[in-house]
């Protein structure tokens, strides 16, 4: 056991996992104790140090779970070849460590002839092969299994035809007078040998027993095949050839499961204790008639079997007038493929049952039934007739038995995820085509399209189109090109994207999350930058046009349908002024501000808060943020300028365009691979970065927002392998923001001027004219025109603010001018403003050469 390093590795893995509860769990002598039970969650489970293959819950009455440890940590098997590399002295090391992982020790491996083979059938995983013998064609036969076969690849592997040959342990002297157990697989047979029994493996249940030379062992055989259909058929065949053979079928799992679920050296006791029941199971498997089955069962257990499967149908058995009876109740059997859980309304989650219905003859059908359909014989009959063309004839008792069997089946629960990105309940990040688990590992969906989030929970992916990432272009080059095409702004945008991927942890910790604004000249590739950033988060989209946001709740809902990702809001092609309620959107800066409150349908009183767990990038030519409160929630890029575009930025831009979208998406996978570290360390980095900005800009909020960007820039630098000091740039942005915010606040009057600026050209300027540095406005007509174009101002408040505006000269005076297109020269009542004082915005950002 000394060189059984696998067990030690498994112990260390348990200690590093969340099964290990600090202060409660400990390693002492032969046990790990005080472990968190994976089923009930109480720290009352244990495992054996010498064979930690099962986590055993000691709460016998309320839980008593035995959970296979390697099901919790399947990566240990996947990595067995890497963790225990073969060496020249020990070329079969991965195979031996794998056998250790199956609970086998040097006791059963002594004298065993086995080999490690790499990349079996080119499936990417190696395996262990056992020497069987030479077949009738004179060829060596090896049989074994692949360590970690990829999805859809069978785990068994043969080299050489196995017909007519079987495996016996080359290091064991077989005694014909002792019972010899016949198993299908070598590892099963080795498990019995480990328990001190004598066993051979016939490699397949379809092996013809009459063609095998058992060399004297046939005198005392125990046929112990798997309890599945093929195993039962095999059992019949063997009994036909060897009528005096005994037979046994495991009550639960196989002999290797039994070996690994008991204390080292204690499996034999459990095996011996189960012999009578295993014999009964074999008799049940051999029963000719359902009535025989019911009687065998009743004789052994003392009660009738109730609902049971016999020859591909269900039968119901009870006792009437001291007589056991059995009655056929269906022409099918069924299995629960999975449970579908829709928890989008947390107060009333809905369960559905996905069944695989197997008719006596014909192909299986998959269908979904609901709780109400399971409650009555007639509703179940009707549902199965409708969905699966299957006939259920059971009465109330049989129906209840089937229902409870369906409810208690140990099938996976599949929870449908509705939000794209971070799923709070599982702490996984879920896309349609892949998932990132809490450790940062990327998983692809299984054959049914589900993700295995944990041992018991599967996730149904959200229905949004996403991109399946693929490695290719290096992250450092992607970074370099983006920052080459948009100097500093590119790096800022990447920092913001990376921060956005952690909104769910940043926002609750800090209580806020800033917005990003990309603004500046048209034709500088702002929208394209956003498109590439979206590709980096595995989305093939640009963003949501801002002008659409006011059209309905649908767009608002789009913002709620993602978490831990950013969404871009784009200004339309025409310079349309923002019409949605910027003020409402900007309250989403703070944690806990719901996006929308919606009534829960089934419950008249309840409401559901739709939390905003994503981030926003505003993309526009001219920033729409006016008030100090609005401006300070936004990190604004340096203005994008046509003048800054040069040969090298153009080359970088073209190179960025050429990177395939799936390779861009790999940035996300690589970043999330470090999620544990980022989640643990970002806060410290944030505090440091914020203080650095605060030294230059004495404004908490501005320093917080820009500090967060600096912190995530530094994280991105590490992950992308970039070298760029963004501190001077971010400090300059923060200083500029500080100046803007401390400038006079924009108010209703400024909005009025903006609106006039936009609407006047469309309305032939009939309500405004410019003359010698002054702006003359026919106020009543102006308000009417603006109203007609979607700008509603309330005159009283507007007049007040206009009079306080620095540009205000006077009101209600006469002005002779040419008004409108007709150029009618007339005298009108006007308000007069100083045209040079209309704009609240500052001049260009200084000291920020791109
Ligand atoms: Zn438990």
> Could you tell me the distance, in angstroms and rounded to a whole number, from the CA of residue 103 to the centre of ligand 1?
23
Asked if residue 576 has pLDDT above 80, the reply is no
As a residue count, the chain comes to 850
pLDDT at 580: 53
Spacing, Cα 44 to ligand 1 middle (Å): 7
Q: Find the 401 Cα to ligand 1 centroid distance in Å.
A: 26
Ligand 1 centroid from CA 42, angstroms: 6
What is the distance in angstroms between the CA of the first residue and the CA of the last residue of the chain?
66
In whole angstroms, what is the distance from residue 185 CA to residue 794 CA?
A: 85
pLDDT at 775 over 80: yes
Mean per-residue pLDDT, 789-814: 87
Q: Residue 2's pLDDT band (boundaries 50, 70, 90)?
A: very low
Is the per-residue pLDDT at 846 higher than 60?
A: no
Q: What is the whole-number distance in angstroms between the Cα of residue 19 and the centre of ligand 1?
A: 12
Other Cβ atoms within 10 Å of 36 Cβ, number: 20
Note whether 443 and 452 are within 8 A (CB).
yes
Q: What average pLDDT does this structure show over 659-683?
A: 96
CA of 345 from ligand 1 middle (Å) equals 28
As a whole-number percent, the residues of the chain with pLDDT over 70 amount to 92
User: 36: CA distance to ligand 1 center in Å?
Assistant: 8
| Whole-number pLDDT of residue 454 | 77
Structure tokens at 548: 């659409």
Query: 148 C-alpha vs ligand 1 centroid, how far in Å?
Result: 28
pLDDT digits (tens, 9 = 90+) for 484-513: 999 999 999 999 999 999 999 999 999 999
| CA 68 / ligand 1 centre spacing (Å) | 13
Q: How far is the CA of 61 from the centre of ligand 1 (A)?
A: 9
Tens-digit pLDDT profile for residues 467-477: 999 999 999 99
Q: How far is the CA of 72 from the centre of ligand 1 (A)?
A: 15
Residues 6+ apart with CB under 8 A from 517: 617, 618, 619, 620, 623, 625, 634, 635, 636, 637
| Distance from residue 368's CA to the centre of ligand 1 (Å) | 31
Distance in Å, CA 452 to ligand 1 centroid: 21
Q: Which of 337-341, 516-520, 591-595 has the lowest mean pLDDT?
A: 591-595
Which pLDDT belongs to residue 449? 86
Cα 20 to ligand 1 centroid, rounded to whole Å: 14
pLDDT at site 793: 86
Distance 453 CA to ligand 1 centre (A): 20
What's the gap in Å between 831 CA and the centre of ligand 1? Answer: 79
CA nearest neighbour of 48 among 112, 93, 1, 91: 1
Q: How far apart are CA 391 and CA 772, in angstroms?
A: 92
Instruction: State in Å: Cα 66 to ligand 1 middle.
Output: 8
Element (H or E) spanning 31, and its range? Answer: strand 31-35
Instruction: Report yes or no: 47 and 7 within 8 Å, Cβ to Cβ.
Output: no
* Ligand 1 center from residue 40 Cα (angstroms): 4
| Closest of 570, 528, 494, 540 to residue 654, by C-alpha | 528
CA–centroid distance, 43 to ligand 1, in Å, is 8
Tell me the CA–centroid distance for residue 54 and ligand 1, in Å: 12
Residues whose CB is less than 8 angstroms from the CB of residue 14 and which lie 6 or more positions away in sequence, other chains included: 20, 32, 35, 47, 52, 55, 69, 73
Tokens of 275: 């012999």
Q: Report helix, strand or coil for 116.
A: strand
pLDDT per position as a tens digit, 375-420: 899 999 999 999 999 999 999 999 999 999 999 888 888 998 988 9
* Centroid of ligand 1 to alpha carbon of 457 (angstroms): 17
pLDDT(844) > 80: no
How many Å lie between the centroid of ligand 1 and the Cα of residue 605?
A: 37
Instruction: Please give the distance, rounded to the nearest whole angstrom, from the Cα atom of residue 69 to the centre of ligand 1.
Output: 14
Q: How far is the CA of 634 from the centre of ligand 1 (A)?
A: 49
Task: Measure the CA–CA gap between 491 and 419, rounded to whole angstroms.
Answer: 28
Non-local (6+) Cβ contacts of 654 within 8 A are none
Q: Is the pLDDT of residue 603 over 80?
A: no
The secondary structure element, H or E, covering residue 55 is strand 51-57
CB 555 within 8 A of CB 544: yes
pLDDT digits (tens, 9 = 90+) for 144-194: 999 999 878 899 999 999 989 999 999 999 999 999 999 999 999 999 999
Distance 332 CA to ligand 1 centre (A): 35
| Residue 65 Cα to ligand 1 middle (Å) | 5
Ligand 1 center from residue 308 Cα (angstroms): 29
With 60 as the cut, is the pLDDT of residue 810 above it?
Answer: yes
Q: How far is the CA of 459 from the centre of ligand 1 (A)?
A: 24
For residue 59, report the distance from its CA to the centre of ligand 1, in Å: 6
Please tell me the distance between residue 60's alpha carbon and the centre of ligand 1 in angstroms.
Answer: 8
- Tell me the whole-structure pTM to 2 decimals: 0.68
Q: Let me know: does 712 contact 513? Beta carbons within 8 Å.
A: no
For ligand 1, the distance from its centroid to the CA atom of residue 39, given in whole angstroms, is 5
Query: Over pLDDT 90: what percentage of the chain?
Result: 65
Distance 63 CA to ligand 1 centre (A): 4
What is the Å distance from ligand 1's center to 255 Cα?
A: 23
Ligand 1 geometric centre to CA of 672 (Å):
32
Alpha carbon of 745 to ligand 1 centroid (Å): 61
Q: Assess contact for 22 and 229: CB atoms under 8 A.
A: no
Contact 609, 447 (CB under 8 A): no
pLDDT digits (tens, 9 = 90+) for 196-238: 999 999 998 788 999 999 989 999 999 999 888 888 889 999 9
How large is the average pLDDT for residues 317-326? Answer: 94
Mean pLDDT of 705-725: 96
Q: b/e per residue, 56-88, with b = 16+ CB within 10 A?
A: bbeeeeeeeebbbbbebbeebbeebbebbebee
Please state, in angstroms and rounded to a whole number, the distance separating the CA atoms of residues 632 and 706.
Answer: 10
Cβ atoms of residues 249 and 278 within 8 Å: yes
pLDDT of residue 807: 87
Does the structure show a pLDDT above 50 at 260?
yes
pLDDT of 81 over the 50 cut = yes
Distance 593 CA to ligand 1 centre (A): 38
Question: What is the Å distance from ligand 1's center to 427 Cα?
Answer: 22
Q: How many angstroms is it from 23 CA to the middle of ligand 1?
A: 18
CB within 8 Å of 259: residues ≥ 6 apart: 102, 103, 104, 191, 194, 195, 267
What distance in Å separates the CA atoms of residue 21 and residue 33, rounded to the nearest whole number? 10
């Amino acid at each position: 056991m000394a060189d059984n390093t696998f067990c030690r590795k498994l112990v260390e893995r348990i200690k590093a996992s969340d099964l290990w509860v600090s202060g409660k769990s400990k390693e002492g002598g032969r046990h790990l104790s005080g472990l968190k039970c994976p089923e009930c969650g109480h720290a009352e489970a244990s495992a054996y140090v010498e064979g930690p293959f099962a986590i055993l819950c000691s709460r016998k009455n309320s839980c008593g779970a035995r959970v296979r440890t390697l099901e919790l940590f399947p990566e240990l098997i996947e990595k067995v070849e890497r963790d225990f590399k073969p060496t020249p002295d020990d070329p079969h090391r991965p195979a031996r460590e794998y056998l250790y992982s199956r609970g086998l020790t040097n006791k059963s491996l002594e004298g065993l002839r086995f080999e490690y083979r790499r990349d079996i059938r080119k499936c990417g995983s190696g395996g262990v092969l056992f020497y069987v013998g030479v077949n009738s064609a004179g060829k060596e036969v090896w049989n074994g299994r692949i360590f970690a076969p990829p999805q859809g690849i069978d785990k068994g592997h043969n080299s050489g035809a196995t017909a007519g040959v079987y495996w016996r342990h080359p290091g064991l002297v077989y005694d014909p007078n002792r019972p010899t157990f016949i198993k299908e697989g070598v590892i099963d047979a080795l498990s019995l040998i480990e328990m001190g029994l004598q066993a051979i493996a016939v490699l397949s249940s379809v092996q013809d027993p009459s063609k095998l030379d058992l060399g004297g062992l046939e005198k005392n055989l125990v046929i112990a095949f798997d309890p599945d259909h093929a195993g039962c058929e095999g059992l019949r065949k063997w009994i036909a050839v060897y009528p005096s053979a005994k037979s046994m079928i495991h009550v639960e799992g196989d002999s290797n499961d039994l070996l690994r679920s008991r204390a080292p050296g204690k499996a034999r006791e459990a095996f011996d204790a189960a012999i009578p029941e295993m014999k009964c199971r074999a008799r049940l498997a051999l029963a000719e008639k359902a009535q025989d089955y019911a009687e065998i069962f009743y004789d052994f257990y003392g009660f009738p079997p109730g609902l049971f499967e016999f020859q591909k149908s269900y039968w119901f058995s009870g006792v009437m007038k001291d007589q056991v009876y059995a009655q056929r109740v269906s022409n099918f059997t069924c299995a629960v493929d999975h449970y579908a859980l829709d928890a989008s309304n947390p107060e009333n989650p809905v369960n559905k049952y996905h069944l695989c219905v197997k008719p006596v003859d014909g192909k299986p059908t998959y269908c979904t039934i609901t709780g109400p359909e399971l409650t009555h014989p007639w509703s179940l009959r009707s549902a199965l007739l409708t969905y699966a063309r299957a006939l259920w004839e059971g009465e109330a008792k049989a129906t209840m038995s089937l229902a409870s069997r369906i409810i208690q089946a140990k099938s996976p629960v599949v929870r449908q995820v509705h939000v794209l990105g971070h799923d709070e309940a599982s702490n996984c990040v879920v896309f349609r085509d892949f998932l990132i688990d809490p450790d940062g590992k990327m998983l692809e969906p299984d054959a049914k399209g589900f993700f295995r989030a944990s041992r018991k929970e599967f996730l149904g992916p959200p229905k949004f189109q996403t991109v399946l990432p693929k490695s290719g272009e290096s992250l450092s080059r992607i970074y370099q090109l983006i920052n080459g095409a948009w100097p500093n702004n590119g790096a800022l945008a990447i920092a913001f994207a990376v921060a956005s991927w952690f909104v769910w942890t940043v926002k609750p910790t800090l209580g806020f999350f800033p917005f990003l604004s990309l603004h500046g000249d048209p034709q500088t590739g702002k929208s394209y930058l956003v498109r590439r950033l979206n590709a980096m988060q595995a989305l093939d989209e640009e963003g949501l046009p801002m002008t659409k946001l006011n059209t309905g709740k649908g767009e608002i809902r789009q913002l709620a349908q993602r978490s831990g990702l950013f969404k871009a809001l784009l200004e339309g092609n025409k310079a349309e002024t923002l019409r949605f309620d910027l003020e409402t959107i900007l309250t989403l800066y703070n944690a806990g501000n719901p996006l929308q409150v919606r009534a829960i349908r089934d419950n008249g009183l309840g409401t559901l808060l739709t939390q905003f767990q994503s981030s926003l990038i505003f993309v526009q030519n001219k920033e729409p943020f006016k008030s100090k409160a609005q401006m300070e929630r936004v990190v604004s890029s340096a203005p994008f300028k046509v003048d800054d575009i040069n040969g090298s930025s153009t080359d970088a831009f073209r190179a960025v365009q050429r990177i395939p979208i799936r390779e861009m998406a790999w940035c996300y996978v690589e970043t999330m691979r470090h999620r544990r570290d980022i989640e643990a360390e970002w806060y410290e980095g944030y505090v440091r970065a914020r203080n650095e900005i605060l030294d230059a800009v004495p404004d908490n909020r501005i320093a917080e927002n820009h500090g967060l960007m600096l912190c995530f820039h530094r994280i991105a630098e590490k992950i992308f392998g970039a070298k760029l000091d963004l501190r001077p740039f971010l400090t300059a942005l923060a200083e500029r923001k500080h100046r803007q915010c401390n400038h006079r606040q924009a108010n209703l009057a400024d909005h009025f001027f903006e609106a006039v600026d936009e609407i006047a050209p469309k309305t032939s300027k009939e309500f405004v004219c410019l003359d010698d540095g002054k702006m003359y406005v026919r106020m009543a007509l102006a308000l009417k025109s603006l109203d007609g174009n979607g700008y509603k101002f309330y005159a009283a408040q507007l007049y007040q603010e206009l009079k306080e505006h620095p540009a205000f000269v006077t009101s209600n005076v006469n002005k002779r001018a040419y008004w409108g297109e007709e150029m009618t020269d007339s005298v009108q009542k006007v308000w007069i403003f100083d045209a040079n004082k209309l704009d609240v915005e500052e001049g260009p950002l200084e000291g920020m050469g791109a």
